[in-house]
Amino acid sequence: MQSGAILGKALNRVGFFSLVYPEYPSRIRGGDNHLQVVFSTEPFLAPEEKINLLLAFGKKNLVIHLPELVSNGWAFEAAEYGLEEIARELGNPLTANTAGLGLLWAVLGLDLTVLEKEIQESLGEKEAILALNLQAVRAGYEKGQVIPDKIKLAGTRQKIMSLTGNEAFVRGILAAQCDFAAIYPMTPINSILTDLAKTEVKIFRPEDEIAGIMSALGAAYAGGRAMVATSGGGFSLMVEGLSLAGMAEIPVVIILGQRTGPSTGMATFSSQADLNFAIHAGQGEFPRIVLAPGDLREAYRLAGEAFNLAERYQVPVILLTDKYLAESRLSVLAEDFKKVKIVIDRGKRPRQLAHYRRYQITSDGISPRAFPGETVFITNSYEHDEFGFSTDEAAIREEMMAKRGRKLANLNGGFEIYGPESAQTTLIGWGSTKEIILSILKEFPKMNFVHFWRLWPLPKEAGEILRQARKLIVIEGNFSGQLAGLIESQTGLKSEKILKDNGRPFFREELIKRIQRYD
């Protein structure tokens, strides 16, 4: 994993956009563990079915992956090229990976000092390990020198950075000044927990996800900005808490990292099958916001904005991600990433505390929010009156449902359009498919692409925009076409569906072929 990050970042240093997509089984050591590294001078990358360079550790891995190699591609087996011997001599088997990076770097015809610099930056804190790895990369690079006809590559002169989706989330969470995160470990959101543990955010590793969401609701109620992160199984346990957040009007951010279900499914593989679950989970009816970023800038911006939306509207906000976006390393122009600004908005607070009513009826449905320590007030999972006292009165119930129901009436935006403004055929996607679809869009100049980053409430403009096309093609990573169903239920519009539900993201060649059938 770490070698993949080093390679991806080193490629950024020489001016390439890189995508590092990991696949691994649900075990700690061994198995068919692999990384695909895609890079280009163009932004927007997608995983590929076919590869040009293969570096395998062990004959077995070589045999498994050889069919993926293009006809004029190159395959290297670590032992054959002396990489394992280098590691043996250095006395640390893990350095074989770094030697492999050196070999690949030489084959690509790139400057060794750049790779060395990246290794220094990535491993700099551990001096002894750094020294070993620098020796390994140089030795590996030497091995690569003996290969004739090396590729000579040149990158752009732009400053490119890369992060995993989870890392972009963590930056957004920190920019939003989150105070409290309750996270029970679960793939694919584990690195959010381990990265936040190094920061000022108060981390709570709860006894279960029920305690996770409940403690986050307590933290938010007490005046903190609070979040949880989990996958579908953990979110299942959080559902009663989600409904409580709706009723008691407590802001909370829920990161839901989708992986292949149902149940334990394929625990380390990707999926977009929890959209309906996120939108519909919970007893009763209450407002919520569901966001699904598709690239690093969106992941950063929406992770930050989620806290603002939660506090502005006093609702739960669900941030949908998936294993592909969470753990893959994507690239972005550094200056574009820096342009994204997160400005903190803590929502409506009481101007005065005398006769304070926690659930005051207001025209926008939003009641000023006080915190314990400021004044006495009641917060309630039961239906309640303006003061928070429990009630079964029909008239108050109707008023309160209407009040909560008004809160999201003015939500704007939620989607982006790429390609021609009007087109006969519109491709539609959400969340992590964004860059993959953008990477193939130039193959279909007559089509445009609508990317939804807010799924609930589905943007008001959706119907109007989608009605302009004669044909709609929804591309999503699930078995039944959940966004297609959502669009139909909200707008009456029917779509063609390009679906994939085998745990892997869409591959570039595959997606082009499947769209061509409609061209």
Partner 1 sequence: MIDEKQLSTPEEITWCPGCGAYAVLAALKRAIIQNNLLPRNVVVTYDIGCSANMVNFLNVCGFATLHGRSIPVAVGIKTVNPSLTVIAQGGEGGIVTEGANHLIHAAQRDDDITVILNNNYVFGLTTGQASAATPRGAITRSTPSGNPYEALSALELAAVAGGTFLARTLAVDLKRTTEILSRALEHRGFSLVEIVQPCIIWAKEIKTPTPFWLEKPFTTAMEVIGQSNFFGILYNYK
Q: Per CB under 8 A, does 236 bind partner 1?
A: no
Are residues 297 and 340 in contact, defined by beta-carbon separation less than 8 angstroms? yes
| Nearest-angstrom CA–CA distance, 348 and 359 | 12
Q: How far is the CB of 347 from partner 1 (least distance, A)?
A: 16
- Output 5 or 182, the one with its CB closest to partner 1: 182
Q: How far is the CB of 367 from partner 1 (least distance, A)?
A: 16
Residue among 464, 482, 476 at smallest CA distance from 428: 476
- Output 182 or 342, the one with its CB closest to partner 1: 182
- Output 207 or 443, the one with its CB closest to partner 1: 207
- Output 372 or 413, the one with its CB closest to partner 1: 372
- List 10, 106, 108, 226, residue binding partner 1 (CB under 8 A): 226
- List 8, 100, 165, 241, residue binding partner 1 (CB under 8 A): 241
Binding part of the chain for partner 1, among 188-196, 223-231, 264-272, 437-445 by CB under 8 A, reads 223-231
How many residues belong to the site for partner 1 (CB under 8 A)? 42
Q: How far is the CB of 402 from partner 1 (least distance, A)?
A: 22
Phi-psi region of 91 (alpha: psi -120 to 50; beta: other; left: phi over 0): left
Residue among 324, 332, 277, 270 at smallest CA distance from 300: 332
| Nearest-angstrom CA–CA distance, 13 and 246 | 46
- List 389, 409, 424, 467, residue binding partner 1 (CB under 8 A): 389
- Output 66 or 222, the one with its CB closest to partner 1: 222
Residues 247-286, mask of contacts with partner 1 (x by CB under 8 A):
-x--------------------------------------
- List 85, 179, 416, 509, residue binding partner 1 (CB under 8 A): 179
Q: Quick one: tokens of 251?
A: 């802001």
DSSP 56-120: ESSHHHHHHHGGGEEEEEEEEETTTTTHHHHHHHHT-TTHHHHHHHHHHHHHTT--HHHHHHHHH
Residue 486 phi, psi dihedral angles, 5° rounding: -65, -45
- Output 28 or 376, the one with its CB closest to partner 1: 376
| Nearest-angstrom CA–CA distance, 378 and 358 | 7
- Output 105 or 359, the one with its CB closest to partner 1: 359
Are residues 73 and 51 in contact, defined by beta-carbon separation less than 8 angstroms? yes
- Output 149 or 392, the one with its CB closest to partner 1: 392
Residues 183-222, mask of contacts with partner 1 (x by CB under 8 A):
-------------------x-x-xxx-xxx-xxxxxxxxx
- List 380, 433, 439, 448, residue binding partner 1 (CB under 8 A): 380
Residue among 476, 106, 124 at smallest CA distance from 276: 476
**3-state DSSP assignment of residue 385:** coil
Q: How far is the CB of 387 from partner 1 (least distance, A)?
A: 9
| Nearest-angstrom CA–CA distance, 509 and 8 | 22
Q: Per CB under 8 A, does 395 bind partner 1?
A: no
- Output 140 or 282, the one with its CB closest to partner 1: 282
Are residues 183 and 228 in contact, defined by beta-carbon separation less than 8 angstroms? yes
Q: How far is the CB of 401 from partner 1 (least distance, A)?
A: 18
- List 168, 186, 244, 458, residue binding partner 1 (CB under 8 A): 244
Strand 471-476, strand 425-430: pairing:
parallel
Residues 348-377, interacting with partner 1 (CB under 8 A): 371-377
Q: How far is the CB of 381 from partner 1 (least distance, A)?
A: 5
Contact residues for 513 (Cβ-Cβ < 8 A; gap 6+): none
Residues 299-338, interacting with partner 1 (CB under 8 A): none
Q: Per CB under 8 A, does 224 bind partner 1?
A: yes
Residue the block writes with tokens 């926690």: 358
- Output 214 or 292, the one with its CB closest to partner 1: 214
- Output 384 or 434, the one with its CB closest to partner 1: 384
Element of type H or E holding 307? helix 296-313
Residue among 346, 390, 353 at smallest CA distance from 370: 353
Residue among 414, 420, 437, 192 at smallest CA distance from 323: 192
- List 61, 187, 381, 490, residue binding partner 1 (CB under 8 A): 381
| Nearest-angstrom CA–CA distance, 146 and 26 | 37
| Nearest-angstrom CA–CA distance, 126 and 410 | 51
- Output 58 or 372, the one with its CB closest to partner 1: 372
Q: How far is the CB of 92 from partner 1 (least distance, A)?
A: 38
Q: Quick one: tokens of 14?
A: 């020489």
Q: How far is the CB of 171 from partner 1 (least distance, A)?
A: 22
- Output 76 or 204, the one with its CB closest to partner 1: 204
Q: How far is the CB of 352 from partner 1 (least distance, A)?
A: 14
- List 33, 177, 236, 379, residue binding partner 1 (CB under 8 A): 379
User: What's the first-to-final CA gap in the chain, in angstroms?
Assistant: 39
Q: Where along the sequence are the contacts to partner 1 (CB under 8 A)?
A: 179-180, 182, 202, 204, 206-208, 210-212, 214-224, 226, 240-241, 244, 248, 371-382, 388-390
